[in-house]
Amino acid sequence: MRSVLFLCVKNSARSQMAEGLGRVIFGDGVRVQSAGSEPSHVSPWAIQVCREIGVDLGGQSSKFVGTIDPDSVDTVIRLCAEEVCPATLSGKQHYYLPIDDPASDDPDVDPEEMRARFRRARDEIKEQLTSLAAILDRSETSA
């Protein structure tokens, strides 16, 4: 079974949304995981905006990339430039999907703006993963 790992620093928003969306888009034939170098928690905003489109992040948790078994990963997908991929994953297939961080610590960002930012990130991740699924399917059939 093919396996994809989504990486982002805090494993809170982008990589969590990618994990949930990846399960839907890639289907049962792909094992999907996410992790980060400074894991924190799954963002309530990510949970909320994914729930809007029927994707449940409720069972997901924020994980440290060092706890991921390198042998369980075929493809690494980085969602932010800051994320450094551990040497144990250097021999894997890599993709970089730059997605702006929707989270903000600015107290002046109102809830509607925050929701809109997370929706934009969710939709961009969904679009990029849909395109990537076609690439992964082609590479799987040509292998």
Q: DSSP letters along 2-59, please?
A: EEEEEE-SSSSSHHHHHHHHHHHHH-TTEEEEEEBSS-----HHHHHHHHTTT---TT
Q: What is the pLDDT of residue 3?
A: 94
Q: What percent of the chain has pLDDT over 90?
A: 71
Q: What is the pLDDT of residue 139?
A: 62
Task: Please give the residue range of the domain that contains residue 134.
Answer: 2-142
- pLDDT band of residue 138 (cuts 50, 70, 90) is low
What amino acid positions are annotated as catalytic residues? 8, 80, 85
Between 54-68, 108-122, 127-141, the lowest mean confidence (pLDDT) is in 127-141
Which of the 8 DSSP states describes residue 64? Answer: B
Residue partners of 43: CB distance under 8 A and separation at least 6: 12, 13, 16, 103, 118
- pLDDT band of residue 121 (cuts 50, 70, 90) is very high
Distances (CA, A) of 59 to 16, 21, 62, 78, 104: 11, 13, 10, 22, 24
Count of the separate structural domains present in the chain? 1
- pLDDT tens column, 39-62: 999 999 999 999 999 999 989 999
Q: What is the pLDDT of residue 135?
A: 81
Instruction: Return the CATH number at 114.
Output: 3.40.50.2300
- The reported pTM is 0.92
Higher pLDDT pick, 24 / 107: 24
